[in-house]
Chain A
């Protein structure tokens, strides 16, 4: 299906970019004009000239393009099934504060051998425990803690939500043997809402985003993500943009 350009302000279909011919000595060489990509940054509302646009807000809140809970237009990230003309607008993970409980657990668990070891030796409960055995058990304990931490980091890193100019993608990795990837095209989205509950979500500005799709398509949900209002606003804008495109599509 050919893609058409639509003027945002007038809503008219823009003509195709012309091919320019340049005379080089006697030969005529056709130079293809590099088609200018439609910018994803929307225009400022003339009624509120001082108010920031959604994209400006998003960019202001954006973190590191690779390892952040909220990243806007991340250039170095790609996902499987991404089309050539599809741009990632927002890449979201759970808020960094959601990692605190397991980090605390790791801290406490790493203290256990330091406390329990000397206590066991002092009480003389295991007099026959050799140095080698003690060392092996302690090493295994710390290796286990490392794996537990690594799994938690992986779980945080790979549980992502992606908003592109065409769709919304939700990658869930809940356990080692369960992976779920759900996508919803902008045209299939019926409703987007955000839920913020609890004092922490208010303080650190995070919450859940629920994307309801039409028909039997699975709903997409992002849990404990930062700046949920901004995400909802952007998805709504993209839905409107998609609607406009459909209205102006040639039959």
Chain B
């Protein structure tokens, strides 16, 4: 494999990594918005499972946050 091809692959890989991380970052923002909305809607309609729904929304934020750092290593 020539050095030019290797450089191209490296560049493509870097671009892909950047794209991937930007997508995950937007995804992270989305999960924060979901959590905020769930909190507001739980106040509007309060039931015994509202805390569980809020917890799921929060866990989702944590998972995506962890995934962002995992993406730095894996990709």
Residues of A whose CB lies within 8 Å of any CB of B are 66-67, 74, 76-80, 128, 132-133, 135-137, 139-140, 143-144, 146-147, 150-151, 154, 157-158, 160, 171, 173, 176-177, 179, 181
Contact = CB atoms under 8 A, between A and B. Distances in A.
Contact of B70 (A80, A136, A150): A136
29 contacts: A66-B47, A66-B49, A76-B48, A77-B46, A78-B45, A79-B44, A79-B46, A80-B44, A80-B45, A128-B9, A132-B73, A136-B20, A136-B70, A136-B74, A139-B67, A139-B70, A140-B23, A140-B24, A140-B67, A144-B27, A147-B31, A147-B34, A150-B34, A151-B34, A154-B34, A158-B44, A173-B41, A176-B33, A179-B37
Given A139-B67, A150-B60, A176-B34, A133 B74 contact: yes
A119 B63 CA distance: 29
B35 to A, nearest CB: 11
A179 B9 CA distance: 47
B43 A80 contact: yes
A48 B22 CA distance: 68
Interface in B21-41: 23-24, 27, 30-31, 33-34, 37-38, 40-41
Contact of A176 (B9, B37, B46, B48): B37
Interface string B46-59: 11110001001100
B41 A78 contact: no
Given A136-B20, A147-B27, A154-B53, 15 more contacts: A66-B47, A66-B49, A74-B47, A79-B45, A136-B75, A137-B20, A140-B67, A146-B60, A150-B56, A150-B60, A154-B37, A154-B38, A160-B45, A179-B37, A179-B40
